[in-house]
Structure 1
Amino acid sequence: MGFQRAYILILLIAINLSSFAQDRDSALQNASQIPAKYYSTVNKKISGINEQLTKKALKYLAKFQRQEQKLQQRLQKLHPELALNNAADKYNEFSQKIKNKTSGIAKVVGGEYSPYMDSLGTSLSFLKQFNGVSDKVKNPLENFDLLQGNFQESEKIKAFIAQRKNELKDILSKYTHLPPGLKKEYDQLSKTAYYYSAQVQEYKDMMKDPKKIEQKALVILNKLPAFQKFMKENSQVASLFRIPSNYGTTQNLTGLQTRSSVQALIQQRIAAGGPNAQSQIQQNLAQAQAELNEVKDKFSQLMGQGGADPEMPNFKPNSQKTKTLLRRLEYGFNVQFAKSSSLLPSTANLALTVGYKLNDKSSLGVGASYNIGMGTIRHISISSQGLGLRSYLDWKIKKQFYASGGYELNYNSAFNNIEQLKNYAAWQRSGLIGISKKYPITKKTKGEMKLLYDFLAAKHIPVTSPILFRIGYSF
C-alpha cells in the first residue's frame, strides 16, 4: 500500500515537472518571436531619456541655485536678519548623486503609477529568465533600473526646490510693499521651479508613448500564461497590493454582499427612519457638499491668487519649452490651384513644409513646392512648371484661427538642370499675409485652410492674382 502511494506521488511530481518544462519551453519559443530590434529600440529610448534627464537635472539645479543666491544677496543688503540658511551643501549633494548615479531605486516611481512603465519593467525582468534572450535584455534592464532611480531622484529635487521656494515666499510675505527687484528675482525662481517639474513630466510622458515594436512585443508576451502569472506576482501593483491566488474566481467572491442586497438594506434603513427620512438624507448630503466646496475654496486661496496650482507661478507657461527638438517640429502638406492664362496652363502647386513651434501660439517654418501643369479642360496635359521655396509664420489669434504670413520664391518654368535655377532674376518673389484656420481631424492630424494676399503680385511677369487659397494637413 505504501509502495503504491509513493509511486503515485512520484508520478504526480513527474507530470508537474513535465508540464512546467513544457510551459517554459512554450514561453521561450514565444519570447524568441520578439524581434531583435525590440531590445535595441527599448535600450536606445531608455538610455536617451536617462541622458536628457541627467543633463536637465544638473542644468535646473545650477540655475535655481544661482537665482536663489541672487535673491539672497538682495535680501542680505535690505534685511540681513531675513536671509535663509545656506543650502550649498544640499545642492552639491544632489549634483553628486546625479553625476555618480548613486540614487536608490524604488519599485514605484515618484508616487505616480505608469501602466506602461510597469509592463515594460516587468516584461524585461520576465525575459531575463531565458538563456536565449537574457543577454539581449541585460542592457535595457540595467538602463530601466537606472531610469527608475533618476525619476525617484527628480522627485526629491522637485520637493527640495519647492521647499526652498516656499521658504523664500514666506520671507517675502513679511514685506508690506515688496521691492520690485525682489519680486522679479522671485518670479524668475518660480519659473525655473515650474519648468523643471514640467520637464520631468515630459520625460515621463515620453515613456508612456510606446512605439509599434514595443506594443508588438507586449502583445506576444500577454498571450503567455507564464507572463500573466509573472505580472500578477512581480508588477508594481502586485508589490503594493498582493493579489490572492484565487483572484477572479467564484471562490474569492464567497461571502461578499451583492449590489442588490446593499440597495435593499439602504431602502430598509430609510423606511425605518419615517416619512421624512428621504428628505433629511438629501438635506444632509447638500450640507456636506456645501462644506466640501467651502474647504475647496479655502484651499484654493492658500495655494495662491485665483486658486492656482501651488507649483504654477503667476505667468502663462510655454508647454513647448520642455519638449525635445523633434517633438516641437510639425510637418505639413498643402495644395494650391491656379487658373490657366494665355501664357500659363492651369497648375497645381504641391508643397511640403516643416515648422518649429516657438510656443503654444506660434510656429515658424520653411517648405518647398512643386508646380504641376495640367493644361486646360479641353486639352489636359501634365507638365513640369517649376518649383518654389517658402517660409511662413503662424500666430494664433483665437481658437482655431491664425494670422499667417510668409515670403516665397518661385521658379515658374520648366528646367533641365540645376544651373538654370542659379539665375536669381528668374525667381518670382511673393510676400504673403492672411488668415488660416486649423481644425482637428484625428488626435495627431489637423486640417488647414489658408486665405492669403500677395502684396507683390503686381510686380509679377505676367501679373498673377493676389488672392491665394490653400488647403492641406499638418501633423
Structure 2
Amino acid sequence: MQGRSLHAQQLTGGTSPAGVADSASHTGLHLTSVTKNYDQLSSGLDRAAERALSRFEKLEQKLKRKLARRDSTAAKKLFAGSEQQYRQLEQKLKGSDSLSSVPNLNTYLPGLDSLKTSLRFLDQPGTTLKNITGGELSKATAAVSLAGKNLQDAVQVQHFLKERRQQLKEQLEQLGLVKDLKKLNKEVYYYQQQLNEYKDLLNHPDKLAQQVVSRLRDLPAFKDFMSRNSELSQLFRAPGNANIPGSLAGLQTRTSVQQQLSQQIGNNANPQQYLQQQMQQAQGELNKLKDKVNQLGGGSSDMEIPDFKPNNQKTKSFWKRLEYGVNIQSQKPNGLMPVTSDLALTAGYKLNDKSTIGIGASYKMGWGKDISHIRISSQGLGLRSYVDVKLKGSIWISGGYEYNYQQEFSRLDQLRDLNAWQKSGLIGLSKKYKLGKKNGNLQLLWDFLSYSQVPKTQPLKFRVGYVF
C-alpha cells in the first residue's frame, strides 16, 4: 500500500515485516466501527456540556430576577459578567481548540490513552498493514482524539459550574434561598454523574477497539513507542527506559535503598520483609477507604456528594432506561374456554429507581380441555399498560389497565369487532428477584373489573416473568 510499505525492520527491531502486518491483518474491518462509536461519544460529550451550561444559566437568570426584587444592587454585583462567561464557554465548545491547554490528571484514562497511541503507532510510515486504508486510519485517529478533547472540555465545564455555584452559595444562604441552591447542586451532581458514565465508556473501549490494542500490545516496537508517545509518558518521565535521555538520572539504586532501610529499622531486620509488612498494612487501609468512597458514589477526587436523594436514572439515555420482559399466566377451563396460557412481551421505561411505566402485548394460547384432549388454538389477544412502584426491598406495588380479546379466532379481521374486547383493571404486588444474570418477578394481581366481564374471567391472576 502506498506510503505504508517501507521496511518494517525499523519498528520490529529486525524481525520480519509480518510482525506488524499480521497483528493488524483484520484491523481495517474494525476501524469503521471504532470511528462511528467515538464520533457518537464525542457528540454526546459535546451535547451534555452544552445542555449543562444552558440549564445552569437558566437557573441563574431565575435567581437574578428573584434577587433583583429584594436587592437590585446585590443582584447586579453578583451576576455581573456572568452572561458573557457563558457565551465565551459556548463559543469555545463549538471551536476546535480545547478549553484546557494543560493535560489534567483527573481526566487521564488509560484505556483511551492506549487506543490513541495504538492508532498513532499504526499511522507511522514503515508500518505494513492489510485490509486497511490510510483514510480509515486517519478517520479513526481523528475520532478518538476528538473524544479526548471533548472530554477535557466537558471537565472544564464541570469545574466552571462548581466555581460558579460556590460564588453564588454564600449570597443565597444569606438571603434564605436554600431551595434555589439545591437546584444548582442537582445540576452539578447530575452533570458529574453523566460525565462519569462517559469516562467509563472511554476508559473501557468496546471489543472492536480493544482488539486494535491487543494485537499490538506484545510487540517490542509498540512498547517502545508507547513509552515515548503516550499521554502518561508526557505527564511522567517513564523510568527504566535507557533510550530516553535523562530517564535514569537521579534514581536511587536498590543497594542504596536497602542500606537506608537497614539504618532506620536496624541491621538485624530484613528490609524486604519489613517493606512487605508495611505494604500489606497500607493496602488494607486503602481498601477500607476505597470501600467508603465507593459507598458515597465514586472514586474520583472531584467527587460530588449530593445533599438530596439522587435519581440514578436521570443521567442515562432513553434506551438505557428501557427494560424488556416476558411473562406467562395460565387459566383453567371455565366451560366456555379451554385451558389457556397468556404469553406476553413488555417494554418498560424507568422513571427513577423506584418506579417504572410500560406497555405490552399478549397472546392467549389454548391447550384443549384436558390432557386427553390437547388442541392448540388461538384464544385471544391482549394490549397492556402497567406501572410498578417500589414498596420495600424486593416488593413492588403493581397496577395496570388492559384490553383483552377473549374469543377464539382464526383470522385477524375478526379482531376488528371492538365490542368483543374486554377491559381489565389490575392492582396487586410483585416480588422481584435475581435469577443468574436476569431478573425474575412473580405477580399476584386482582382484576377489579372482572365481575362485569362476559364471559366472566377469574379475578385473581398469577404471573411469572423475566426482565432483561
Report the TM range for the smaller structure's normalisation.
Answer: 0.7 to 0.9
Determine the structure 2 residue equivalent to 1:239.
234
The answer on whether the counterparts of 1:23 and 1:226 sit within 8 Å (CA) in structure 2 is no
Stretch of structure 1 that moved more, 88-97 or 72-81: 72-81
Residue 68 (1) aligns with residue 63 (2): no
Aligned residues, how many?
Answer: 417
Residue 358 (1) aligns with residue 351 (2): yes
Matched residues in 1 for 2:466 and 2:101: separation? 44
The answer on whether the counterparts of 2:45 and 2:150 sit within 8 Å (CA) in structure 1 is yes
> How far does the alpha carbon of each residue in 1:360-386 deviate from its partner, in whole angstroms, 9 at most, with x for none?
111111111222222322233333323
Matched residues in 2 for 1:23 and 1:441: separation? 51
The answer on whether the counterparts of 1:232 and 1:243 sit within 8 Å (CA) in structure 2 is no
Cα distance change of structure 1 residues 221 and 455 upon mapping to structure 2, 3 Å threshold: farther
Counterpart AA for 1:50? S
Matched residues in 2 for 1:105 and 1:133: separation? 32
Cα distance change of structure 1 residues 81 and 15 upon mapping to structure 2, 3 Å threshold: closer
> How far does the alpha carbon of each residue in 1:245-301 deviate from its partner, in whole angstroms, 9 at most, with x for none?
489xxxx9x9648xx999999986999xxxxxxxxxxxxx9xxx9xxx9xxxxxxxx
Secondary structure at the counterpart of residue 463 of structure 2: strand
Determine the structure 2 residue equivalent to 1:415.
409
Secondary structure at the counterpart of residue 106 of structure 2: coil
Secondary structure at the counterpart of residue 107 of structure 2: coil
Matched residues in 1 for 2:436 and 2:186: separation? 33
The answer on whether the counterparts of 1:109 and 1:151 sit within 8 Å (CA) in structure 2 is no
The answer on whether the counterparts of 1:352 and 1:369 sit within 8 Å (CA) in structure 2 is yes
Q: CA deviation at 1:222?
A: 3.7
Cα distance change of structure 1 residues 317 and 369 upon mapping to structure 2, 3 Å threshold: same
Secondary structure at the counterpart of residue 19 of structure 2: helix
Unaligned runs of 5+ in 2: 1-6, 270-280, 290-301
The answer on whether the counterparts of 2:362 and 2:382 sit within 8 Å (CA) in structure 1 is yes
Residue 122 (1) aligns with residue 117 (2): yes
Matched residues in 1 for 2:149 and 2:461: separation? 55
Residue 385 (1) aligns with residue 379 (2): yes
Secondary structure at the counterpart of residue 111 of structure 1: helix
Residue 452 (1) aligns with residue 445 (2): yes
Q: CA deviation at 1:104?
A: 5.3
Counterpart AA for 1:145? S
Structure 1 residue aligned with 2:33, among 41, 60, 63? 41
Matched residues in 2 for 1:26 and 1:107: separation? 36
The answer on whether the counterparts of 2:341 and 2:366 sit within 8 Å (CA) in structure 1 is yes
Determine the structure 1 residue equivalent to 2:274.
none
Q: CA deviation at 1:407?
A: 1.2
Determine the structure 2 residue equivalent to 1:304.
none
Matched residues in 1 for 2:353 and 2:190: separation? 15
Q: CA deviation at 1:354?
A: 1.0
Q: Which runs of structure 2 are paired with 1:453-468 in the superposition (5 Å)? A: 453-468=446-461
Stretch of structure 1 that moved more, 84-93 or 450-459: 84-93
Q: CA deviation at 1:110?
A: 6.1
Matched residues in 2 for 1:194 and 1:219: separation? 35
Cα distance change of structure 1 residues 329 and 74 upon mapping to structure 2, 3 Å threshold: same
> How far does the alpha carbon of each residue in 1:60-103 deviate from its partner, in whole angstroms, 9 at most, with x for none?
21222232233234334434247324222221111100112322
Q: Which runs of structure 2 are paired with 1:259-274 in the superposition (5 Å)? A: none
Matched residues in 2 for 1:471 and 1:261: separation? 70
- TM-score, normalising length: structure 2: 0.77
Counterpart AA for 1:399? G
Determine the structure 2 residue equivalent to 1:193.
188
Stretch of structure 1 that moved more, 370-379 or 328-337: 370-379
Matched residues in 1 for 2:8 and 2:399: separation? 76
Matched residues in 2 for 1:345 and 1:266: separation? 88
- TM-score, normalising length: structure 1: 0.76
What value does the CA root-mean-square deviation take over the aligned residues?
A: 3.7
Stretch of structure 1 that moved more, 385-394 or 226-235: 226-235
Matched residues in 2 for 1:466 and 1:263: separation? 79
Secondary structure at the counterpart of residue 402 of structure 2: strand
Of Structure 1 and Structure 2, the greater helix share is in: 1
Counterpart AA for 2:24? A
Cα distance change of structure 1 residues 238 and 414 upon mapping to structure 2, 3 Å threshold: farther
> How far does the alpha carbon of each residue in 1:15-57 deviate from its partner, in whole angstroms, 9 at most, with x for none?
9769646444322222122362x22222222112222222232
- Higher RCO (CA 8 Å, separation ≥ 6 residues): 2
Matched residues in 1 for 2:69 and 2:378: separation? 72
The answer on whether the counterparts of 2:23 and 2:215 sit within 8 Å (CA) in structure 1 is yes
The answer on whether the counterparts of 1:432 and 1:452 sit within 8 Å (CA) in structure 2 is yes
Matched residues in 2 for 1:193 and 1:18: separation? 47
The answer on whether the counterparts of 1:127 and 1:133 sit within 8 Å (CA) in structure 2 is no
Q: Which runs of structure 2 are paired with 1:218-297 in the superposition (5 Å)? A: 218-222=213-217, 224-241=219-236, 242-245=238-241, 256=254
Matched residues in 1 for 2:99 and 2:310: separation? 32
Determine the structure 2 residue equivalent to 1:52.
44
Matched residues in 2 for 1:240 and 1:23: separation? 33
The answer on whether the counterparts of 2:12 and 2:19 sit within 8 Å (CA) in structure 1 is no
Identity %: 39
Counterpart AA for 2:426? L
Matched residues in 1 for 2:121 and 2:100: separation? 19
The answer on whether the counterparts of 1:449 and 1:469 sit within 8 Å (CA) in structure 2 is yes
Secondary structure at the counterpart of residue 358 of structure 1: strand
Q: CA deviation at 1:119?
A: 2.8
